[in-house]
Amino acid sequence: MNYFFFRLVVTLNGTQPACTECQYTRTGTCNLDNTGCDCYTNYTGYLCRQVIPENPLQSSPIQGQNWTIIVAVVSSVAGLLLIISLVMFVFYCISKRRQSTTITKPPITRPQFTIPRAHLPTMGTVSRELNSWDGFSLDNTYDEQFVDASDSFPSSSSTSYNTTYRMSGNRPEADFGIFDELENRTPMPKGHIPRPQMVDMLGTLNSFPTLDQFDEPSGETSVFSDSRDLDEIELVTDMLEDMTKDDDIEDEFVEALNPNLAIPRLSLEPDTQSLSWFSVCSILQIYIFTNQFFLF
Amino acid sequence: MVALNVPLNVTQRIQLSNQIFSQNITYNDSYSLNGLQINLNPATPNSRKTETASVL
Protein backbone atom coordinates (compact mmCIF):
# COMPACT_ATOMS: atom_id res chain seq x y z
CA MET A 1 0.00 0.00 0.00
CA ASN A 2 2.76 2.37 0.89
CA TYR A 3 5.17 2.74 -1.98
CA PHE A 4 7.52 5.03 -0.18
CA PHE A 5 8.92 4.33 3.22
CA PHE A 6 9.12 7.89 4.43
CA ARG A 7 5.90 9.07 2.96
CA LEU A 8 2.37 8.57 4.14
CA VAL A 9 1.08 7.44 0.81
CA VAL A 10 -2.50 6.29 0.88
CA THR A 11 -4.56 4.73 -1.77
CA LEU A 12 -7.87 6.39 -2.23
CA ASN A 13 -10.68 4.52 -3.94
CA GLY A 14 -13.24 7.26 -3.89
CA THR A 15 -14.16 10.55 -2.38
CA GLN A 16 -13.09 11.05 1.21
CA PRO A 17 -15.06 12.78 3.92
CA ALA A 18 -13.65 16.03 5.22
CA CYS A 19 -12.94 14.56 8.62
CA THR A 20 -10.14 12.47 7.16
CA GLU A 21 -8.11 15.67 7.25
CA CYS A 22 -7.80 15.53 11.02
CA GLN A 23 -6.85 11.89 10.81
CA TYR A 24 -4.07 12.52 8.32
CA THR A 25 -2.85 15.58 10.21
CA ARG A 26 -3.06 13.62 13.45
CA THR A 27 -4.99 16.27 15.27
CA GLY A 28 -8.11 14.19 15.92
CA THR A 29 -10.33 11.44 14.72
CA CYS A 30 -13.54 11.43 12.76
CA ASN A 31 -16.64 11.26 14.80
CA LEU A 32 -19.21 8.63 14.35
CA ASP A 33 -21.17 10.22 11.55
CA ASN A 34 -18.04 11.62 9.82
CA THR A 35 -19.32 15.13 10.09
CA GLY A 36 -16.58 16.37 12.26
CA CYS A 37 -13.51 15.49 14.23
CA ASP A 38 -12.91 14.67 17.83
CA CYS A 39 -9.82 16.75 18.46
CA TYR A 40 -6.84 15.70 20.46
CA THR A 41 -5.45 17.80 23.28
CA ASN A 42 -4.27 21.28 22.33
CA TYR A 43 -6.37 21.20 19.14
CA THR A 44 -9.73 22.70 18.62
CA GLY A 45 -11.94 24.28 16.00
CA TYR A 46 -13.27 22.98 12.72
CA LEU A 47 -11.47 19.81 11.77
CA CYS A 48 -9.11 20.53 14.64
CA ARG A 49 -7.29 23.17 12.61
CA GLN A 50 -6.69 25.54 15.53
CA VAL A 51 -3.94 24.95 18.00
CA ILE A 52 -4.48 25.92 21.61
CA PRO A 53 -1.58 28.15 22.65
CA GLU A 54 0.42 26.67 25.47
CA ASN A 55 1.49 28.52 28.61
CA PRO A 56 4.91 30.03 27.92
CA LEU A 57 6.06 29.45 31.47
CA GLN A 58 4.94 25.85 31.33
CA SER A 59 6.41 25.37 27.92
CA SER A 60 9.84 26.64 29.00
CA PRO A 61 10.21 26.17 32.72
CA ILE A 62 14.00 26.22 32.47
CA GLN A 63 13.96 29.62 30.85
CA GLY A 64 11.70 30.96 33.61
CA GLN A 65 13.99 29.55 36.25
CA ASN A 66 16.94 31.20 34.58
CA TRP A 67 15.18 34.54 34.72
CA THR A 68 14.37 34.13 38.37
CA ILE A 69 17.95 33.14 39.15
CA ILE A 70 19.35 36.14 37.30
CA VAL A 71 16.98 38.53 39.04
CA ALA A 72 17.81 37.03 42.43
CA VAL A 73 21.57 37.25 41.90
CA VAL A 74 21.45 40.83 40.68
CA SER A 75 19.22 41.94 43.50
CA SER A 76 21.39 40.22 46.09
CA VAL A 77 24.57 41.81 44.76
CA ALA A 78 22.96 45.22 44.70
CA GLY A 79 21.68 44.79 48.21
CA LEU A 80 25.11 43.65 49.42
CA LEU A 81 26.79 46.70 47.91
CA LEU A 82 24.18 48.93 49.48
CA ILE A 83 24.72 47.37 52.89
CA ILE A 84 28.50 47.72 52.59
CA SER A 85 28.23 51.37 51.61
CA LEU A 86 25.89 52.06 54.51
CA VAL A 87 28.22 50.35 56.97
CA MET A 88 31.21 52.29 55.68
CA PHE A 89 29.31 55.53 55.95
CA VAL A 90 28.30 54.76 59.53
CA PHE A 91 31.86 53.91 60.51
CA TYR A 92 33.14 57.06 58.86
CA CYS A 93 30.65 59.19 60.75
CA ILE A 94 31.52 57.49 64.05
CA SER A 95 35.25 57.89 63.59
CA LYS A 96 34.87 61.50 62.59
CA ARG A 97 32.76 62.21 65.63
CA ARG A 98 35.31 60.58 67.91
CA GLN A 99 38.12 62.61 66.42
CA SER A 100 36.18 65.80 66.84
CA THR A 101 35.31 65.06 70.47
CA THR A 102 38.46 63.45 71.84
CA ILE A 103 41.36 64.92 69.95
CA THR A 104 41.77 68.63 69.96
CA LYS A 105 44.60 69.37 67.68
CA PRO A 106 46.62 72.45 68.47
CA PRO A 107 46.63 75.03 65.78
CA ILE A 108 49.31 74.43 63.25
CA THR A 109 51.99 77.04 63.63
CA ARG A 110 54.61 76.96 61.05
CA PRO A 111 57.84 78.79 61.73
CA GLN A 112 58.32 81.76 59.60
CA PHE A 113 61.74 82.06 58.16
CA THR A 114 62.87 85.47 57.16
CA ILE A 115 65.83 86.21 55.03
CA PRO A 116 67.99 88.83 56.70
CA ARG A 117 68.56 91.92 54.71
CA ALA A 118 71.90 91.99 53.03
CA HIS A 119 74.17 94.61 54.48
CA LEU A 120 76.81 96.05 52.27
CA PRO A 121 80.05 96.57 54.07
CA THR A 122 81.30 100.09 54.31
CA MET A 123 84.74 101.49 54.36
CA GLY A 124 86.10 101.76 57.79
CA THR A 125 87.94 104.92 57.08
CA VAL A 126 84.91 106.76 55.78
CA SER A 127 82.45 107.85 58.37
CA ARG A 128 78.75 107.22 57.89
CA GLU A 129 77.93 110.90 57.89
CA LEU A 130 80.03 111.56 54.87
CA ASN A 131 78.00 109.16 52.77
CA SER A 132 75.84 111.67 51.01
CA TRP A 133 73.48 110.66 48.28
CA ASP A 134 74.99 111.62 45.01
CA GLY A 135 72.77 109.63 42.73
CA PHE A 136 75.22 106.85 42.19
CA SER A 137 76.16 105.64 45.61
CA LEU A 138 74.46 103.03 47.69
CA ASP A 139 72.93 104.54 50.76
CA ASN A 140 72.61 102.31 53.77
CA THR A 141 71.62 104.92 56.25
CA TYR A 142 68.30 103.31 57.02
CA ASP A 143 69.56 99.80 57.11
CA GLU A 144 69.81 99.75 60.84
CA GLN A 145 66.20 98.81 61.34
CA PHE A 146 66.50 95.84 59.04
CA VAL A 147 69.98 94.63 59.76
CA ASP A 148 70.52 92.02 62.31
CA ALA A 149 73.32 92.76 64.71
CA SER A 150 74.99 89.47 64.01
CA ASP A 151 75.76 90.13 60.41
CA SER A 152 76.37 93.82 60.53
CA PHE A 153 79.81 95.21 60.20
CA PRO A 154 80.90 97.70 62.77
CA SER A 155 81.82 101.09 61.55
CA SER A 156 85.33 100.65 62.70
CA SER A 157 85.86 97.53 60.69
CA SER A 158 87.81 97.87 57.58
CA THR A 159 87.11 95.63 54.68
CA SER A 160 88.81 95.24 51.41
CA TYR A 161 85.61 95.92 49.54
CA ASN A 162 84.56 99.43 48.78
CA THR A 163 80.86 99.24 48.20
CA THR A 164 80.37 102.94 47.77
CA TYR A 165 80.89 104.14 44.27
CA ARG A 166 81.40 107.83 44.14
CA MET A 167 81.36 109.92 41.05
CA SER A 168 82.81 112.99 42.76
CA GLY A 169 86.00 113.43 44.65
CA ASN A 170 89.49 112.38 43.94
CA ARG A 171 89.20 109.05 42.29
CA PRO A 172 92.38 107.17 41.66
CA GLU A 173 92.82 106.22 38.09
CA ALA A 174 92.50 102.54 37.42
CA ASP A 175 95.67 100.92 36.35
CA PHE A 176 94.93 98.41 33.62
CA GLY A 177 98.49 98.14 32.61
CA ILE A 178 98.72 94.68 34.05
CA PHE A 179 96.23 93.41 31.49
CA ASP A 180 98.17 94.97 28.68
CA GLU A 181 101.28 93.40 30.03
CA LEU A 182 99.62 90.03 30.13
CA GLU A 183 98.35 90.42 26.59
CA ASN A 184 101.70 91.59 25.21
CA ARG A 185 103.62 88.90 26.93
CA THR A 186 105.00 86.39 24.54
CA PRO A 187 103.22 83.11 24.86
CA MET A 188 105.04 80.33 26.44
CA PRO A 189 106.42 77.71 24.15
CA LYS A 190 104.32 74.67 24.13
CA GLY A 191 105.52 71.91 26.29
CA HIS A 192 107.73 74.13 28.39
CA ILE A 193 107.13 75.25 31.90
CA PRO A 194 108.93 78.24 33.28
CA ARG A 195 111.86 77.08 35.23
CA PRO A 196 111.35 79.33 38.27
CA GLN A 197 107.80 78.08 38.62
CA MET A 198 108.86 74.51 38.42
CA VAL A 199 111.71 75.06 40.85
CA ASP A 200 109.26 76.52 43.34
CA MET A 201 106.96 73.58 42.86
CA LEU A 202 109.74 71.13 43.39
CA GLY A 203 110.81 73.04 46.43
CA THR A 204 107.32 72.63 47.76
CA LEU A 205 107.42 68.98 47.03
CA ASN A 206 110.79 68.64 48.72
CA SER A 207 109.42 70.33 51.79
CA PHE A 208 107.34 67.27 52.52
CA PRO A 209 108.35 65.37 55.61
CA THR A 210 111.46 63.43 55.05
CA LEU A 211 111.97 59.88 55.99
CA ASP A 212 113.67 60.89 59.18
CA GLN A 213 110.44 62.28 60.47
CA PHE A 214 108.69 58.98 60.08
CA ASP A 215 110.69 57.48 62.86
CA GLU A 216 108.76 56.21 65.77
CA PRO A 217 108.53 58.61 68.68
CA SER A 218 109.82 55.90 70.97
CA GLY A 219 113.13 56.22 69.31
CA GLU A 220 112.96 53.01 67.41
CA THR A 221 114.26 53.14 63.94
CA SER A 222 111.51 52.68 61.43
CA VAL A 223 111.69 50.85 58.20
CA PHE A 224 112.19 54.14 56.43
CA SER A 225 115.53 54.81 57.93
CA ASP A 226 117.34 53.30 55.10
CA SER A 227 119.64 55.91 53.67
CA ARG A 228 119.60 54.27 50.32
CA ASP A 229 115.90 55.07 49.86
CA LEU A 230 116.55 58.69 50.69
CA ASP A 231 119.20 58.82 48.06
CA GLU A 232 116.79 57.32 45.60
CA ILE A 233 114.28 60.01 46.36
CA GLU A 234 116.87 62.69 45.78
CA LEU A 235 117.87 60.97 42.60
CA VAL A 236 114.30 60.93 41.35
CA THR A 237 113.85 64.55 42.33
CA ASP A 238 116.91 65.56 40.41
CA MET A 239 115.78 63.50 37.50
CA LEU A 240 112.42 65.21 37.51
CA GLU A 241 114.08 68.57 37.67
CA ASP A 242 116.13 67.67 34.66
CA MET A 243 113.03 66.54 32.86
CA THR A 244 111.41 69.90 33.38
CA LYS A 245 113.97 71.49 31.14
CA ASP A 246 112.42 69.80 28.24
CA ASP A 247 108.92 68.66 28.90
CA ASP A 248 108.69 66.92 25.58
CA ILE A 249 110.04 63.78 27.12
CA GLU A 250 107.68 60.97 26.50
CA ASP A 251 106.05 59.17 29.36
CA GLU A 252 107.53 55.93 28.17
CA PHE A 253 110.98 57.41 28.73
CA VAL A 254 110.05 58.43 32.25
CA GLU A 255 108.82 54.96 32.93
CA ALA A 256 111.97 53.57 31.43
CA LEU A 257 114.06 55.65 33.82
CA ASN A 258 112.16 54.31 36.76
CA PRO A 259 110.47 50.99 36.05
CA ASN A 260 108.61 51.23 39.33
CA LEU A 261 106.49 54.06 37.95
CA ALA A 262 103.37 53.74 35.90
CA ILE A 263 102.10 56.99 34.54
CA PRO A 264 98.34 56.94 34.10
CA ARG A 265 97.33 57.92 30.59
CA LEU A 266 94.10 58.92 29.12
CA SER A 267 92.65 56.79 26.38
CA LEU A 268 92.57 59.77 24.07
CA GLU A 269 95.65 61.70 23.26
CA PRO A 270 95.53 65.11 24.92
CA ASP A 271 95.69 68.08 22.66
CA THR A 272 98.78 70.17 22.47
CA GLN A 273 97.34 72.95 24.58
CA SER A 274 96.77 70.79 27.61
CA LEU A 275 99.96 68.85 27.17
CA SER A 276 101.99 71.04 29.51
CA TRP A 277 99.49 70.78 32.36
CA PHE A 278 99.22 67.06 31.83
CA SER A 279 102.96 66.80 32.14
CA VAL A 280 102.99 68.74 35.39
CA CYS A 281 100.27 66.53 36.81
CA SER A 282 102.21 63.49 35.70
CA ILE A 283 105.27 64.71 37.52
CA LEU A 284 103.29 65.27 40.69
CA GLN A 285 101.84 61.81 40.45
CA ILE A 286 105.25 60.38 39.86
CA TYR A 287 106.53 61.87 43.06
CA ILE A 288 103.51 60.81 45.03
CA PHE A 289 103.71 57.30 43.67
CA THR A 290 107.36 57.21 44.49
CA ASN A 291 106.70 58.18 48.07
CA GLN A 292 103.99 55.59 48.33
CA PHE A 293 106.28 53.02 46.88
CA PHE A 294 108.89 53.76 49.48
CA LEU A 295 106.37 53.86 52.23
CA PHE A 296 105.28 50.40 51.36
CA MET B 1 1.57 8.31 -12.97
CA VAL B 2 1.04 11.99 -13.05
CA ALA B 3 3.43 14.35 -11.30
CA LEU B 4 2.02 17.63 -10.09
CA ASN B 5 4.44 20.44 -9.48
CA VAL B 6 2.12 22.20 -7.08
CA PRO B 7 2.69 22.71 -3.38
CA LEU B 8 -0.45 21.55 -1.51
CA ASN B 9 -1.24 20.92 2.08
CA VAL B 10 -3.16 17.94 3.40
CA THR B 11 -6.55 19.63 3.08
CA GLN B 12 -5.90 20.68 -0.51
CA ARG B 13 -4.65 17.22 -1.42
CA ILE B 14 -7.84 15.66 -0.09
CA GLN B 15 -9.92 18.16 -2.03
CA LEU B 16 -7.88 17.43 -5.15
CA SER B 17 -8.43 13.69 -4.80
CA ASN B 18 -12.12 14.17 -4.23
CA GLN B 19 -12.42 16.30 -7.39
CA ILE B 20 -10.54 13.70 -9.39
CA PHE B 21 -12.91 11.01 -8.23
CA SER B 22 -16.02 13.15 -8.65
CA GLN B 23 -15.20 14.24 -12.18
CA ASN B 24 -13.83 10.84 -13.19
CA ILE B 25 -10.88 12.34 -14.84
CA THR B 26 -9.09 9.88 -17.12
CA TYR B 27 -6.49 10.21 -19.85
CA ASN B 28 -8.84 8.72 -22.52
CA ASP B 29 -11.54 6.21 -22.74
CA SER B 30 -9.06 3.33 -22.66
CA TYR B 31 -8.43 4.07 -18.94
CA SER B 32 -10.75 3.89 -15.96
CA LEU B 33 -10.17 5.40 -12.49
CA ASN B 34 -9.91 2.71 -9.88
CA GLY B 35 -7.81 4.34 -7.21
CA LEU B 36 -5.59 7.23 -6.36
CA GLN B 37 -2.32 7.14 -4.44
CA ILE B 38 -1.29 10.37 -2.86
CA ASN B 39 1.05 11.42 -0.12
CA LEU B 40 -0.90 12.80 2.76
CA ASN B 41 1.97 13.13 5.18
CA PRO B 42 1.42 16.43 7.01
CA ALA B 43 5.11 16.61 7.75
CA THR B 44 5.82 17.17 4.08
CA PRO B 45 6.53 20.83 3.68
CA ASN B 46 4.21 22.88 1.58
CA SER B 47 7.11 24.34 -0.31
CA ARG B 48 7.82 20.96 -1.76
CA LYS B 49 7.33 21.52 -5.41
CA THR B 50 6.87 17.99 -6.61
CA GLU B 51 4.04 15.82 -5.39
CA THR B 52 3.40 12.49 -6.90
CA ALA B 53 -0.08 11.24 -7.63
CA SER B 54 -0.35 7.98 -9.41
CA VAL B 55 -3.47 6.92 -11.09
CA LEU B 56 -4.12 3.18 -10.95
Mean pLDDT, residues A210-226 taken together: 49
pLDDT of residue A101: 78
B40–A8 CB contact, under 8 Å = yes
Mean pLDDT of chain A: 67
CB A126 within 8 A of CB A85: no
Pick the residue with more confidence: A193 or B36? B36
Mutate to test the interface with B, among A3, A5, A21 (most CBs of B within 10 A): A21
pLDDT of residue A260: 67
- The 10s digit of each residue's pLDDT in B5-32 is 778 888 888 888 888 888 888 778 888 8
B50 pLDDT more than 50: no
A24–B44 CB contact, under 8 Å = no
pLDDT of residue B8: 82
Mean pLDDT, residues A240-268 taken together: 65
The secondary structure of residue B36, as a DSSP letter, is E
A10–B34 CB contact, under 8 Å = no
Q: Measure CB to CB from residue A21 to each of B11, B22, B34 and give the nearest one.
A: B11
In chain A, residues with a C-beta closer than 8 Å to the C-beta of B17 are: 12, 15-16
Q: Cα(A131)–Cα(A166) distance, rounded to whole angstroms?
A: 9
> Per-residue DSSP letters for A143-191?
GGGT--SSSPPPTT---S------SSS--PPP--HHHHHHHHSPPPPTT
Of A47-51, A122-126, A219-223, which one has max mean pLDDT? A47-51
Q: Cα(A220)–Cα(A35) distance, rounded to whole angstroms?
A: 149
A248 pLDDT more than 90: no
Q: Is the CB of residue B40 less than 8 Å away from at least one CB of chain A?
A: yes
Mean pLDDT, residues A109-128 taken together: 66
Regarding pTM above 0.80, the answer is no
